[in-house]
Structures are given as C-alpha cells and as structure tokens.
Chain A
Amino acid sequence: MASAIAVRATQLGRRTLVLTVDPAKRLATALGLELGSDQDHRVPLTNVSGELSAAVIDSKKVFDGFIAKHAQQADVVARIMKNRLYQQMSTTLSGSQEFTALERLLQATESGKYDLVVLDTPPTKHAVDFLTAPQRINSLFQDSITRWFMSPNDSSTGFFGKIVGRGTRVALKSLETLTGAQFIEELIDFFAAVRSVQSVLRERSERVHQLMTGPQTGFVVVTSFDAAKLMEAKYLQGELDRLGYRLQGAIINRAFPEGVPDHLLEAPDNVDPQVYGKVLDFYKQFKEYHSVRYNLYEEFSKGLPSSVKVVRVPEYQRDVYGLSDLENLANIL
C-alpha cells in the first residue's frame, strides 16, 4: 500500500521516494529494488509528471554508515564494530530496525531530492515501538545515563563508580547477578564505545521526533474489514494522537466490491435455475457477511476526526504483480 501511495504522489507530479524494510519479491522486482543495496533506485513509471524512487532499508548498512560517519576517529569506529552486542544489534536482533528506518527517513528528507518520502512501517504492534523509538533512543543516550556505564578503566568514574547513586549500584549489581559479568562487560563496552556518538544520536533522534510530529508529516493507517483489525487501527489512532502525530488517512483494504443491484438479480431464461439458485444463495451469504463488516467500518469511520480521509480498496483487486497493478491501486487511492 505504501508503494501505491508513492505511485499516486508521482502521478500528481511529486518527486517521491518509497522506503521499505522487507518487500515481497515481485513487488521488489516491479520497483527495481535490490535487496541489500540500500540505494535509491529510479522506478521507470511512464506518463507521470513526477519521479518515483524506491529503496530497501538495509539495517546493517545504515547502522555501520552512521557509526563510520559520526564516530570520526578510526579506532572508535573499530571498537564499536568489534563490540559483540553491537554486531548482534545491527544484524540479527530486532530493535535496530526502528532506529535505522528513522535515520534513513531523516537522511532522505534532508537530501532535498524528494518532495515526499513514504515509509512503510511494520504492522500495528510494532508500529507503536516504531513511533516511540526516537524518545527511547534519546532517553538511553542521555549523558547522565551513559556515564553509569563508563569503563572501569576510566579513572574519573568507572563502573559502579562514585557518581552512581546507591539505587543504581544495587540495580546494576542485581542485573549482573542475573545475566553474568560478561554480559555486563559487553554492555559497558557497548555504552562506552557509543558514547562518542551519543550527542549525534541524541540530536538525530530529536530531529526525527520534530520531523514526525511536524506539519509536513502525516500518518496513514491501513486496516481491513475485520472487527479485531479495526479495533487495532483504533488503538493505533489513539497512540498517534497521544504521541502528538497527525493521522491523515485510513485505508480500508479488502472491502467487498459494490454488490449487484437487486433489480438485476433475476435468473435469465437461458440459465439452469438450480445453478443460478446455488450461486445466488452463495452471493447472499457473501453479501450478508460483508454487510456486518461494513457496519463495523461505518462505526470506525465515524470515530475518526473529519480531517482524516478514508479510502476503501475493494476485495476484487488482484494481487500486485507489477507496476501496472500498483498504478491501478494508486488510481483507487
């Protein structure tokens, strides 16, 4: 859906970039994306006045690039890259995706190359983690906190050093009891190493937060005709509101297509009445099933502020195979 929004913006003449974390293969092929490249690719759309680019976010590359750029000294870069927790964080462990996606978003908006950047976020449960990532990163890399994890070799303070309050000392000691000395050592090394980039990290996370809460940024919730999914979307809407983000649109996917008008539901003479009856019963069952969902959707739509645009995308849309399918979807949007 993020790609279709980007195509629509391109149709409207804007220079657009769509950033995605984990695209399906055919969609990636359609957009000309190469996994692991992390480069912006021009997508060959014809008959549009704008320009469309697309990129897959490669967490490891973004992370390593960020460290290499901001740590400045080669030995510091090497130390961070060597830290085993950093290696795990920037490759296999989740949690880093939020940071790298937001960093990539900021880079793209600051490049001046695009009028619109569309970021495909993870599904709902992780979307909230995603939205709070700037504050979480900011709170962790405050100087007052990283100081607690300074190296024991640092003569001014040291781990469990003088500046640590008694409460923190006890809490850290408890963590050491539970996880072991090696884990704590790696943590100390991790925080000591990233301390050199903490001011940049803090500054970047503040800028991301400003960007995300600013008037130039809007959020679009994609949901479907399903009670629980609509409840999830409602929850996300509440979270967006609470965190100061602006919801601008809701896309309801897999809506039942417009039904057949009642006056046309009469068996023509040339049709086997038994066949017609069976298909008609099935159609009625289908229509009833979707009308229940339609009521839920109505309820959901009424609960949204009037500034939020709601779009229904019909069920009969076939799968997105290529650019022409994306353009069809964009036309509906």
Chain B
Amino acid sequence: MQATKQAAATAWKGRKIVFVSGKGGVGKSLVAAAIAQEETRAGRKVLLAEIGDTSYYKDFWNLPHVGHDPVATKAGFDIALWNGESCLREYVLFYLRLQRLYSLFFENKVMKSLINVAPGLNEIAILGKITSGVRKVGPPMHYDLIVVDCYATGHALALLQAPKGMMEAIKFGPMGHHSREMEAVIENQSICGYVVATLLEEMPVVETLEFCEKLKTQVGVDSSVIANKILSLPVEEAQLNQLKTQDPRGLGEFAKYLDAIFDRQRELFALLEKSVSRLARVPFIFSADPEVLVKKTGEALRET
C-alpha cells in the first residue's frame, strides 16, 4: 500500500541527530556531507561524524587530518572520526578524571583486548558518543545537528540495535542505564532522523527496501530514501529511440546505453515510490570536484 507522502527532509529538518546509511558504494558519504552543508547553510551548527577507523572525507576534501576531535572544514561545518576505542577513551577520561588511572586503563593488555572483542562494547561506546549531547552525558558538544555517516546497512542495523540488546542483557548499573537512555534517543523521531541512500540499481534498491523495513520493525523508526545519481535524458525518449535505429554504429550505441539505464531507473524509482513514504532524487552530477558534488547534491535535497 502506498504510504502518505512526506518530504525526505523530514529526516533532518529540526532533528538533532541524523543517521545516513546505504549499501556500500551508493554515495551515502556524499549525501551525509550534503545534508551537513544544507543545514549549515540554514544557520545550524553542524558536525559531520564518520564512524570507523579510516576517514573517507580526509581524502575527499584533502584534509591533513581527521580524528576524534572535530576539525573545521571550508564548508562551514566540522568533521570528526569516531570509533569504539576513541569514544570509550573520551568517556573514561571524562569520568575517571585522573590521567594516571586513565592511562592504566588503556595501557592495560586486558583492557585493550577486552575493548576489541567484548560483546557490544564498541557499538555502545559509539552510540554513547553520538547521543551524549542529547543525553547530557560526557563532555559537552555544542552542535545543533550531528550528521552521522554511518556504516553500510547490515552493520548500521547492528549498531542501532546494540542498546536494545545490551539493555536486555544488562538491566542494572550504569551500562543498563545508559543503554536504556540511548535506546530512548534512537527511537525518538523528533530527535533522530534516518536516511538511506541508494542508486537506482537492482541490488541497492532491494537492500534499501529491506533495510527500511528492518528499521521500521526492529528499531521502530521511519526513514527517508535518497535515490542518488539519477540520469536525465537530454532529449525525449522517442527521439532517443529513433536515434538508436538511425545511427546504430555511431551515437545510436550511446543512445542504447542511455535508454537501458533510463528504463532501469524508471522501474526502480516506481518501486521505491510505491514502497517508501519519503523519497528524494539527486541527479547525476558531471563532476569529480568534491565541493561541486556536495553543493549540487545539497541543492537537490533542498528541493525535496
């Protein structure tokens, strides 16, 4: 059944945290950066947070360093790279206060191994950091919006489910308490928004629909879908078809290629339209310049 249509921007307008995910290679980092830029343009103080051990944006914007502590970008927002260990370090330092105790904690062989494999600790540490501003826990974060360039779909779901899993296992003490708080923030859609980027190709679209469904049923939240890199035909479809037969060895070959892509796009966009309530399109942008890509993607999102 077709759901009531809403603007895709519902996922980030007025929210404090927005998670951006998608199948690997669909442009989710670009969509996350574009949302960060648009909200900066709208006058909000924005942090674009990457999750993991390596920074995509470091090379994208040719920045000297991207680490746990936010760095400013030319685009007006800040960027940080968070992983389980860096988030836990900050949290431990904040609460243990004593540098000596903190060093003892992190230089200890048991702790190092434990942090790496203890069930759920990494996820809880990362989500703890992302939601810390809203929960008023840990070092203060002065941002109106945190855009999270999250993991690809499977791992993103595991991350978002971690507090629920942890609070089922640990009901008492600080771990149980923090997990319950995180879960409440994640489920609160006036605070958190969810964006899923996709290309109009079979596998990304199917994965997107499955992920949106799991977000709904397993996390209890709605999401906006951004269809990225959509090609528009330079002429009418009938004219393109005519060219295929009129110039089969020359430009007709390219016309065939365009027509096949266009057909696939149309079919998959219709499928998305039928299945999701918030859908936006971003056109194919003929540029490799990061600033142009982010700006134009942002402009396309602004119109949603």
Which residues on A are within 8 Å of B, measured CB to CB? 21-22, 24-27, 84-89, 91-96, 122-126, 128, 136-137, 139-140, 145, 148, 167-168, 170-172, 174-175, 177-183, 186-187, 190, 224, 227-229, 231-232, 235, 253, 257, 260, 264-268, 270-272, 275-276, 278-283, 285-286, 288-289, 292-293, 316, 318-321
Q: Known contacts A145-B113, A172-B110, A280-B251: does B118 contact A88 (CB below 8 Å)?
A: no
**Chain B contact residues: over half helix, strand or loop, or mixed?**
helix
Which of B111, B243, B257 makes the CB contact (< 8 A) with A316? Answer: B257
Chain A residue numbers with a CB within 8 Å of B134 are: none
Q: Known contacts A126-B155, A180-B175: does B170 contact A145 (CB below 8 Å)?
A: no
A275 touches B239 (CB 8 A): yes
Chain B interface residue bracket vs A:
35 or more
A278 touches B234 (CB 8 A): yes
Distance between A69 CB and nearest chain B CB, rounded to angstroms: 21
Chain A residue numbers with a CB within 8 Å of B54 are: 124-125, 128, 232, 235
Q: In the complex, A288 Cα to B287 Cα: how many Å?
A: 9
Chain A residue numbers with a CB within 8 Å of B171 are: 182
Q: Is B174 an interface residue (CB 8 A)?
A: yes
B155 touches A94 (CB 8 A): yes
Q: Is B69 an interface residue (CB 8 A)?
A: no
A88 touches B168 (CB 8 A): yes
Q: Is B303 an interface residue (CB 8 A)?
A: no
B109 touches A145 (CB 8 A): yes
Chain B residue numbers with a CB within 8 Å of A93 are: 119-120, 123, 158, 161-162, 165
Chain A residue numbers with a CB within 8 Å of B287 are: 289
Q: Known contacts A93-B162, A140-B117: does B247 contact A268 (CB below 8 Å)?
A: yes
Distance between A1 CB and nearest chain B CB, rounded to angstroms: 11
Q: Is B42 an interface residue (CB 8 A)?
A: no
Point out which of A86, A183, A319 has the most chain B C-beta atoms below 10 A from its C-beta.
A183
Q: Give the residue name and chain of the B residue nearest to A316 (CB).
A: B257
Q: Give the residue name and chain of the B residue nearest to A274 (CB).
A: B235
Q: In the complex, A125 Cα to B122 Cα: how many Å?
A: 15
**Chain A contact residues: over half helix, strand or loop, or mixed?**
helix
Q: Is B151 an interface residue (CB 8 A)?
A: yes
Q: Give the residue name and chain of the B residue nearest to A231 (CB).
A: B59
A95 touches B119 (CB 8 A): yes
Chain B residue numbers with a CB within 8 Å of A266 are: 250
Q: Which 4 A-B pairs have the closest CB atoms?
A: A180-B173, A319-B202, A94-B158, A123-B24
Additional A-B contacts beyond A94-B162, A174-B92, A260-B254 (19; CB < 8 A): A26-B203, A85-B118, A88-B120, A88-B169, A92-B158, A94-B155, A137-B117, A140-B117, A148-B110, A167-B104, A182-B173, A231-B59, A257-B257, A260-B253, A278-B234, A279-B255, A289-B287, A289-B288, A316-B261
Q: Known contacts A26-B206, A174-B92, A278-B235: does B250 contact A85 (CB below 8 Å)?
A: no
Q: In the complex, A58 Cα to B232 Cα: how many Å?
A: 41
Q: In the complex, A198 Cα to B237 Cα: how many Å?
A: 64
A178 touches B122 (CB 8 A): no
Q: Known contacts A178-B174, A228-B56: does B251 contact A260 (CB below 8 Å)?
A: yes
B175 touches A179 (CB 8 A): yes
Chain B 36-55 per-residue mask, 1 if CB under 8 angstroms from chain A, else 0: 00000000000000001110
Chain B residue numbers with a CB within 8 Å of A87 are: 169
Sample of 27 A–B contacts (CB below 8 Å): A84-B168, A84-B170, A85-B169, A89-B119, A93-B123, A94-B162, A95-B117, A126-B151, A136-B117, A170-B105, A174-B101, A175-B111, A178-B174, A179-B174, A180-B175, A182-B170, A227-B59, A228-B29, A228-B56, A228-B60, A257-B257, A271-B246, A278-B234, A279-B235, A279-B254, A285-B286, A320-B202
Q: In the complex, A278 Cα to B232 Cα: how many Å?
A: 12
Q: Give the residue name and chain of the A residue nearest to B210 (CB).
A: A25
Chain B 227-240 per-residue mask, 1 if CB under 8 angstroms from chain A, else 0: 00000001100011
Distance between B32 CB and nearest chain A CB, rounded to angstroms: 13
B116 touches A140 (CB 8 A): yes
Q: Is B108 an interface residue (CB 8 A)?
A: yes
Point out which of A228, A272, A285 has the most chain B C-beta atoms below 10 A from its C-beta.
A228
Q: Give the residue name and chain of the A residue nearest to B59 (CB).
A: A231
Q: Known contacts A136-B113, A179-B174: does B234 contact A170 (CB below 8 Å)?
A: no
Distance between A32 CB and nearest chain B CB, rounded to angstroms: 17
Q: In the complex, A139 Cα to B176 Cα: how many Å?
A: 27
Which of B24, B158, B210, B251 makes the CB contact (< 8 A) with A276? Answer: B251
Point out which of B104, B206, B234, B249 has the most chain A C-beta atoms below 10 A from its C-beta.
B234
Chain A residue numbers with a CB within 8 Å of B101 are: 170, 174
Q: In the complex, A270 Cα to B123 Cα: how many Å?
A: 63
Q: Give the residue name and chain of the A residue nearest to B152 (CB).
A: A123
Distance between A104 CB and nearest chain B CB, rounded to angstroms: 16
Q: Give the residue name and chain of the B residue nearest to A24 (CB).
A: B203
Q: Is B283 an interface residue (CB 8 A)?
A: no
Point out which of B52, B53, B109 has the most chain A C-beta atoms below 10 A from its C-beta.
B109
Q: Is B3 an interface residue (CB 8 A)?
A: no
A92 touches B25 (CB 8 A): no
